[in-house]
Structure 1
Amino acid sequence: MPGQHAVLVLNAGSSSIKFGLFDCSSGAASRLALAGGEVDGIGGTDGIDGAMTFAVDGAAPRTLRRGDGDPYRAALAPVIEWLREAWPNVRLAAVAHRVVHGGRHYFEPTVVDDAVLSELRTLIPLAPLHQPHNIDAIDTMRAACPGVPQVAVFDTGFHRTLPRIEQLLPLPHSWFDEGVRRYGFHGLSYEFLTIALDEAFGELARGRVIAAHLGSGASLCALRGLVSVATTMGFSALDGLMMSTRCGSIDPGVVLHMIDVRGLSHEALGTLLYHHSGLQGVSGLSGDPRVLLAQEDKNERAKEALELYVHRIVRETGALAAVLGGLDMLVFTAGIGEHSAPIRARVCGALALFGIELDDDANRANAHVISRPTSRVKVVVEPTNEAWIAARAAWSLVGGQARLA
């Protein structure tokens, strides 16, 4: 198809880059990617030693070895080569990048120039697990694809609707003016859910909804009228729920104790809270619920970690339901939310006071609706599609210009 417009979406992490190519020739970004894949095994400054897996129209995965040099340049070079060789007729309208933190200035999708990139670097301390890698990918693609707009799509953007009272922290007010406030994350995932739920359930989806994004990172979002009114993650992606390796909400006094009594440095403290806490820290075994579920009958720490994980989800769900004034729909998404029937069953069992009645067979089958018809709360499993949201946003921003080019 000569002149076929498309958007390449990159979701860059510390050890992997997920990518997808979305056709825009119809005047809108297609919901399903033309093709996509993932680069695994991105190493540190000494280069990478891993493989990139291409899933192109159901073809068998291909493995490519990596050389030395800059890790992100080396990781993205095969993606660019694949794009040129496999899709020679595609005109790349934009590269869309999921960027975790937009701070207090960036909510809408934004074409990245030198000034924007410089400001995004100042936000690295707010999202140290993600922001540096998001920026590395943008920097690399700007050099590799001159003239192609690099569009940042912000995870914090969806939560711009949070009421001021939800954004405020109980700290001196001047800090709020300087950007120390609750932002919320996983916004691309929640934005997709609002579209999918509205299509599937109409008026019910516009009621009192709590969405649970349960992956290696985890958060809850309270939705009313399909907009965010409260969420568990706040100033940083450490807040809220217990996660695979992140602690979630803890007493700030514990942090002071770690510094004053244990003598932890800033770096050591960050490593502990981001990488050695959560399910991994409590269990001492793994941050993966599948591993812990398989071990809980014979490993007390694995059992306790799962109990705490579910307890924190239940407690925060109850708090958000109070903010909403009730609950009409509970939605599970992301890796754990979409695939772990035991975790969903335990959460829903503890939330039975809201009138949740789970259909055990539907839950085990990962069905779309997993509640019984008599349940007062509809419980849904909705696979997320963050990449399409990023493609859609980028095309909305640059599509008109691309069609004229």
Structure 2
Amino acid sequence: MTDAILTINAGSSSIKFAAYEIATAGLRPLARGHIDDIGDDTTFTAAPADGPAERQPIDASKGAVDHRSALELAVDWLHRHEDGCHVVAVGHRVVHGGPDHAEPVVIDDGTLLRLRKFVPLAPLHQPHNLAGIAAALHAFPDAAQVACFDTAFHRQHPFIADTFGLPRRLYDEGVRRYGFHGLSYEYVSRRLRSVAPMLASGRVIIAHLGNGASVCALRDGRSVASTMGFTALDGLPMGTRCGQLDPGVVLYLLTEKGMSPDEITHLLYHDSGLKGLSGLSNDMRELEASHAPAAREAIDYFVARVRREIAGLAATIGGVDAIVFAGGIGEHAFRVREQILGDMGWLGVDLDRDANARNAQTVSLPDSRVAVLVIPTDEDRMIAEHTAEILGLIHSAADSTRLTD
């Protein structure tokens, strides 16, 4: 019988899962999969660690797939393909941990009650994260359940990076900048310590660019400031989310356009960002392939905002030694990376355009004062490591990184 950790990353329209064997040398990948477009032309793709990913059939006679049934599909597949796999712990990505959760926690009734209070702060993700926990508690009643928070990595921010220019009582009540994508940043930071330890101990800016996007400044592996704030709307424009917005726009939509809070929420979370700007798509690949002027303008706006945030965060940490790209856009959209950094010699960046076009790990020239790297993120692996560490299933973070990813 193989003891394993299962990770669940339940998003608004997708679920990612992965399984890891708890081995002597650390965590060994067993399988992973993803279920996309939940509720609308749902697809299910899964693979054992040593095999190719394959599309899995979905029984259409059972009706539309929701998050609960999607999780059941994942669990059923795992039982069929990993015979003898005994899930002893389940690690969950939870987007919002509020002001008090600076590290993962073992889930109990009190934890669930506290996390439900943060649903209004992350309405696109938190309800689905909690649904994933509920399904896992039902499927694995004897397994330990661990919540790993996207906000936890940023909890040591200084006050000036954590607050708004609002009355102090609101800060004390929890209205503050939380930052998100922390699991991704922490994983990339750990990987950077492995591939370039001297850089990792310095001033690093990580750009997590995907359907959700943000930038984070780190010093010696610790988050100092992030572009996301009170909710996952702030900062960069994203696939469907607006990014930084003058709060007066929201007041205008309320008072002059007569929009309801629900209508404004839908606009800002679902109809803005690259999708809203282009009028075409939230997918960077489709926008890059399009000849429509609006697609080009959407990309240009995205690039301009990333450049502005990188420059601002460099000022926050007193310069920069390395810039790291992660996420779907950050790892694969080499033209976007070139637009962002191609003329940033003033910051010390000399881009190697050939290496960048190959999506190499290092895409800066050898004599560049600022190193530029592409490091694929792996939030599932980070969740598994946290789960194993808090339960004492592996000795330390160092043990879990000895394994070849």
Same fold (TM over 0.5): yes
In the alignment, which residue of structure 1 is the partner of 2:384? 391
Q: Return the alpha-carbon distance in structure 1 between the equivalents of residues 197 and 272 of structure 2.
A: 39
Q: CA deviation at 1:350?
A: 4.0
Residue 238 of structure 1 aligns to a residue whose secondary structure is coil
1:9 aligns with 7
Q: Does 1:172 align with 2:167?
A: yes
Deviations 1:304-353 (A, max 9, x none): 11111111011111110001111111110000000000000000024221
**Deviations 1:11-54 (CA, angstroms, capped at 9, x unpaired):** 11122211100111326333xx21111123422xxxx7633222
Residue 34 of structure 1 aligns to a residue whose secondary structure is strand
- Asked if 1:356 is matched to 2:334, the reply is no
- Give how far 1:64 is off: 2.5
Partners of 2:33 and 2:195 in 1: how far apart?
28
| 1:349 to 1:51, Cα distance in 2 relative to 1, 3 A | closer
- Of the three residues 16, 19, 22, the one matched with 2:17 is 19
Task: Name the counterpart of 2:217.
Answer: 222
Contact 2:118–2:126 (8 Å) recurs in 1? yes
Compared with structure 1, are the counterparts of its residues 69 and 294 closer, same or farther at alpha carbon in structure 2 (3 Å cutoff)?
Answer: closer
Alignment match of 2:33 (pick from 27, 33, 37): 37
RMSD: 1.7
Equivalent position SS for 1:161: coil
User: Which residue of the other structure, out of 280, 287, 309, is the alignment partner of 1:285?
Assistant: 280
TM-superposed CA distance for 1:87, in Å, is 2.4
Q: Residue 127 of structure 1 aligns to which amino acid in structure 2?
A: A
Whether 2:49 is the aligned partner of 1:53: answer no
- CA distance change for structure 1 residues 307 and 120 in 2, over 3 Å: closer, same or farther? same
On the 8 A contact 2:43/2:55 being kept in 1, the answer is no
2:90 counterpart of 1:98: no
Alignment of 1:253-292 (within 5 A): 253-292=248-287
> Which residue number corresponds to residue 403 of structure 2?
none
Instruction: Tell me whether 1:78 sits opposite 2:73 in the alignment.
Output: yes
CA contact (8 A) 2:22 2:393 kept: no
Looking at structure 2, the residues matched to 121 and 14 of structure 1 have their Cα atoms a distance apart, in angstroms, of: 16
Deviation at 1:109, TM superposition (A): 1.1
1:132 paired with 2:127, answer yes
Secondary structure of the residue that 1:8 maps to in structure 2?
strand
TM-score normalised by the chain length of structure 1: 0.93
* Alignment match, 2:402: none
Q: C-alpha deviations, 1:177-235, integer Å up to 9, x for none?
A: 11111111000110011111111111122111100000001000001111000110011
Q: For the residues of structure 1 that align with 2:55 and 2:285, how far apart are their CA atoms?
A: 25
Q: Tell me the equivalent position of 1:202.
A: 197
Give the Cα separation in 2 of the matches to 1:49 and 1:280.
20
Distance 1:86 1:286 in 2: 36
Q: Answer with 14-23 or 298-307: which moved more.
A: 298-307
| Cα offsets for 1:102-150 (capped at 9, x unmatched) | 0112222112222211221111111111101000110111112112112
How many residues are treated as equivalent by the alignment? 391
Alpha-carbon shift at residue 65 of structure 1 (Å)? 2.0
* Higher alpha-carbon deviation: 15-24 or 284-293: 284-293
Identify which of 305, 324, 327 aligns with 1:331: 324
In structure 2, the partner of 1:193 is: 188
Does the CA contact (< 8 Å) of 1:93 and 1:399 recur in 2?
no
Amino acid at match of 1:54: A
1:246-268 CA-to-partner distances (Å, cap 9, x unmatched) read 11111111111111111110011
Could you say which residue in structure 1 is the equivalent of 2:397? none
What amino acid is aligned across from residue 317 of structure 1 in structure 2? I
Task: Evaluate the alpha carbon distance shift between residue 139 and residue 70 of structure 1 in structure 2; reply closer, same or farther with a 3 A threshold.
Answer: farther
**Counterpart of 2:56 in 1: which secondary structure?**
coil
Q: Does 1:156 align with 2:151?
A: yes
Tell whether the 8 Å contact from 1:50 to 1:65 is kept in structure 2 after alignment: no
Partners of 2:255 and 2:313 lie apart in 1 by 34
Q: Distance in 2 between matches of 1:272 and 1:78?
A: 31
- Structure 2: how far apart are the matches of 1:118 and 1:70? 27
Cα distance in structure 2, aligned partners of 1:398 and 1:25: 14
Aligned mates of 1:376, 1:100 — CA distance in 2: 35
The alpha-carbon deviation at position 70 of structure 1 amounts to 8.0
Instruction: Indicate the residue corresponding to 2:114 in structure 1.
Output: 119
Is residue 249 from structure 1 mapped to residue 244 from structure 2 by the alignment? yes
Residues of 1 paired with 2:75 and 2:298: CA distance? 42
5+ residue gaps in structure 1? none
Partner of 1:375: 368
Distance across 1 between alignment mates of 2:88 and 2:37:
28
Seen in structure 2, the aligned counterparts of structure 1 residues 15 and 105 have a Cα distance that, compared at 3 Å, is: same
TM-score in terms of structure 2 length? 0.93
